[in-house]
């Protein structure tokens, strides 16, 4: 798979891109802001609610699924359908390992504790996840969101070691002036819309990471979710809403274009 060339505001080379190209960068049709909507962990409420809202407003999004989830096993055809509808299935590992040593991580099970992982172990798990995702949607290229946005194994950042497996990786170096990441829960539609409007003046792109929609955990209500989608749908001239994969491919193309000048 092709090497990671430009992960804007998210990993490795982000700050370099932003320093050199932030002022001149623009999205097609002069949209003010790109919006990546993603949904983590393969939750039932995403299939019961989120996907129907997205399709109602003709908005494409990214779903970072965990193949070991019971929801993937029980509702596999629905995940296949999501990919066929033009949404992205992204890598979120097989078992969702997070660092149990961090505050508030009592819920992390011992066999899923990233603090006890090795680099070889996480590499193997991500390769396995990519293989399973390929079996679901037939695609080769993939993006990755690290579980809990954790990036350290034995005190060292493992992201650069696995970067060549993906087109893009979320959650690293996000405060760089180009893009920003937010994982909202228990917020209103007005809160979500306000975040988008205020980001116009600060960034070129925002990544909103949802979990539960109208259920499950870290939830956003159905009404709040639909209010955001309706706002984005009503303001297409200002906001470029697409899968994380598609947005990153565009920034990569612009990077190559600028380098060739």
Q: List, for residues 167-220, the tens digit of each pLDDT value.
A: 999 976 544 578 899 999 999 999 999 999 999 889 999 999 999 999 999 999
Handedness of CA 206, 131, 128, 252 (dihedral sign): negative
Res 13: pLDDT: 33
Q: Is it the case that residue 140 has pLDDT exceeding 80?
A: yes
- 28-259 carries CATH number 3.20.20.370: yes
**Which helix H or strand E contains 84, and what residues bound it?**
helix 76-84
Give residue 16's pLDDT.
Answer: 38
Radius of gyration of the chain (CA): 18
**C-beta separation of 244 from 143 below 8 A:** yes
The torsion angles phi and psi of 237, rounded to 5 degrees, stand at -70, -20
pLDDT at 15: 34
* Average pLDDT value for residue range 218-243: 98
SS3 for 228? helix
118 CA to centre of own chain: 24
Tell me the C-alpha distance between 221 and 101, whole Å.
Answer: 31
pLDDT-wise least confident of 19-23, 37-41, 66-70, 136-140: 19-23
SS3 assignment, position 251: helix
Is pLDDT at 256 greater than 80 in this prediction? no
Instruction: Give the model's confidence band at 12: pLDDT under 50 very low, under 70 low, under 90 confident, else very high.
Output: very low
pLDDT of residue 188: 98
- Tell me the domain boundaries of the chain: 28-259
Q: What is the pLDDT of residue 130?
A: 98
With contact defined as beta carbons under 8 Å apart, do 169 and 194 qualify?
Answer: no
The C-alpha atoms of residue 257 and residue 261 are separated, in whole angstroms, by 7
Q: Which of 28, 20, 91 is nearest to 247 (CA)?
A: 28
**Confidence band for 4, pLDDT divided at 50, 70 and 90:** very low
Spell out the residues 6+ positions from residue 10 whose beta carbon is closer than 8 angstroms to its own. 168, 169, 170, 171, 172, 173, 174, 179, 181, 207
Q: How confident is the model at residue 10 (pLDDT cuts 50, 70, 90)?
A: very low
């Amino acid at each position: 798979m092709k090497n990671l060339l430009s992960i804007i505001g998210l990993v490795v080379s982000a700050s370099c891109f932003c320093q050199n190209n932030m002022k001149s960068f623009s999205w097609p049709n002069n949209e003010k802001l790109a919006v990546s909507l993603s949904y983590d962990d393969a939750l039932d409420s995403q299939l019961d609610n989120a996907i129907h809202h997205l399709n109602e407003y003709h908005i494409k999004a990214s779903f970072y699924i965990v193949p070991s989830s019971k929801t993937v096993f029980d509702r596999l055809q629905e995940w296949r359908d999501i990919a066929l509808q033009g949404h992205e299935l992204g890598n979120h590992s097989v078992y969702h390992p997070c660092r149990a040593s961090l505050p508030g991580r009592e819920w992390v099970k011992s066999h899923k504790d990233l603090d006890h992982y090795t680099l070889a172990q996480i590499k193997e798990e991500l390769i396995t996840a990519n293989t399973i995702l390929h079996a679901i949607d037939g695609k080769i290229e993939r993006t990755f969101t690290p579980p809990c946005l954790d990036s350290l194994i034995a005190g060292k950042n493992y992201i650069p070691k696995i970067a060549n497996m993906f087109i893009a990786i979320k959650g690293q170096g996000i405060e760089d002036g180009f893009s920003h990441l937010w994982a909202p829960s228990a917020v209103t539609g007005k809160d979500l819309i306000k975040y988008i409007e205020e980001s116009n003046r600060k960034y070129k792109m925002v990544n909103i990471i949802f979990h539960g929609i109208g259920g499950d955990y870290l939830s956003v209500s159905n009404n709040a979710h639909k209010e955001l989608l309706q706002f984005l749908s009503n303001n297409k001239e200002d906001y470029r809403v697409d899968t994380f994969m598609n947005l990153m491919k565009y920034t990569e193309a612009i990077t190559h274009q600028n380098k060739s000048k």
